[in-house]
């Protein structure tokens, strides 16, 4: 019964991390609209696996890994910012195609998964966000009970995966109601918002790197 309680806590944390609208959510929705459920869900699944990794670090209290991430957060911010800006340009000016069969291949899903994972994993604040959310949910750092830790981490993963499946499932159901011109406008809007996230990450990285460069 105790393990079930920790599983439910993890589930709630997974939802709390995944639901807020950010570049991953925009990317998932855009890809689902254009390429179908599998591509959009593959992107979300990549983010969920990155969440699993960071949740494990926060739950086990692996301070050495946290310190390493903080040490390289400038590099991660720069890499993540550049990656987001490139993605924003491709999103905004990419050609909208509603039935791209070739993109539904295993390679297309794998590519979507990798991009979702990289976008989430290159955010240096993700692990700190998990630490803060864990504290907010009354989860102590560095749990010593392995069963509780596993239940918590599994719950986080299930909550995240369920959210991405639900979001992309809803978008997939309505995608055929969008006209080609509407998709182009949505691409442009998503590109602008993703560029804003990328610019912020890049500026933060540059500010951190400035003392070492000048």
**pLDDT beyond 60 at 32:** yes
Q: How far, CA to CA in Å, does 149 sit from each of 3, 6, 62, 110, 156?
A: 9, 8, 12, 29, 11
List, as one string, the DSSP characters of 33-76.
Answer: HHH-HHHHHHHHHHHHHHHHHHHHHHHHT-HHHHHHHHHTHHHH
Chain CA centroid to CA 46, Å: 7
**pLDDT confidence bin for 95, thresholds 50/70/90:** low
pLDDT at 102: 44
Output the average pLDDT for the chain.
78
Average pLDDT of span 120-127? 72
Identify which has the larger pLDDT, 138 or 101. Answer: 138
SS3 state of residue 189: helix
Take residue 198 and report the two structure tokens written for it.
């990328």
Residue 201 contacts residue 80 (beta carbons within 8 Å): yes
pLDDT at 21: 67
Average pLDDT of span 195-201? 82
List, as one string, the DSSP characters of 96-137.
Answer: P-S--GGGGSHHHHHHHHHHHHHHHHT-THHHHHHHHHHHHT
- In this prediction the pTM is 0.75
Place of tokens 């912020």: 200
* pLDDT tens by residue, 140-165: 555 567 787 888 889 989 999 999 99
**pLDDT confidence bin for 49, thresholds 50/70/90:** very high
Identify which has the larger pLDDT, 21 or 160. Answer: 160
Identify which has the larger pLDDT, 95 or 58. Answer: 58
pLDDT at 31: 86
Average pLDDT of span 157-174? 92
pLDDT at 192: 85
Phi, psi at 193, each rounded to 5°: -70, -45
Nearest Cα to Cα of residue 55 among 25, 23, 12: 12
pLDDT at 14: 85
Average pLDDT of span 200-206? 81
CA distance 8 to 105: 35
CA distance 211 to 214: 6
């Amino acid at each position: 019964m105790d393990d079930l309680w920790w599983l439910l806590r993890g589930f709630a944390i997974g939802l709390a991390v995944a639901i807020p609208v950010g570049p991953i959510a925009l990317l998932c929705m855009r890809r689902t609209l254009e390429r179908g459920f599998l591509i959009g869900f593959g992107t979300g699944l990549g983010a969920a696996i990155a969440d699993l990794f960071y949740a494990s670090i926060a739950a086990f209290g692996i301070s050495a890994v946290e310190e390493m991430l903080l040490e390289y957060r400038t590099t991660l911010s720069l890499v993540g910012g550049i990656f987001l800006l490139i993605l924003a340009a491709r999103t905004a000016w990419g050609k909208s195609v509603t039935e791209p069969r070739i993109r539904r291949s295993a390679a297309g899903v794998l590519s979507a998964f990798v991009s979702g994972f990289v976008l989430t994993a290159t955010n240096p604040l993700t692990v700190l966000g998990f630490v803060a959310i864990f504290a907010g949910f009354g989860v102590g750092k560095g749990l010593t009970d392995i069963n509780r830790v596993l239940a918590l981490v599994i719950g986080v993963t299930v909550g995240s995966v369920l959210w991405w499946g639900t979001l992309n499932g809803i978008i997939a159901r309505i995608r055929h109601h969008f006209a080609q011109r509407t998709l182009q406008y949505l691409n442009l809007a998503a590109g602008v918002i993703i560029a804003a996230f990328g610019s912020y990450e890049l500026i933060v990285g540059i500010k951190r790197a400035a003392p070492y460069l000048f």
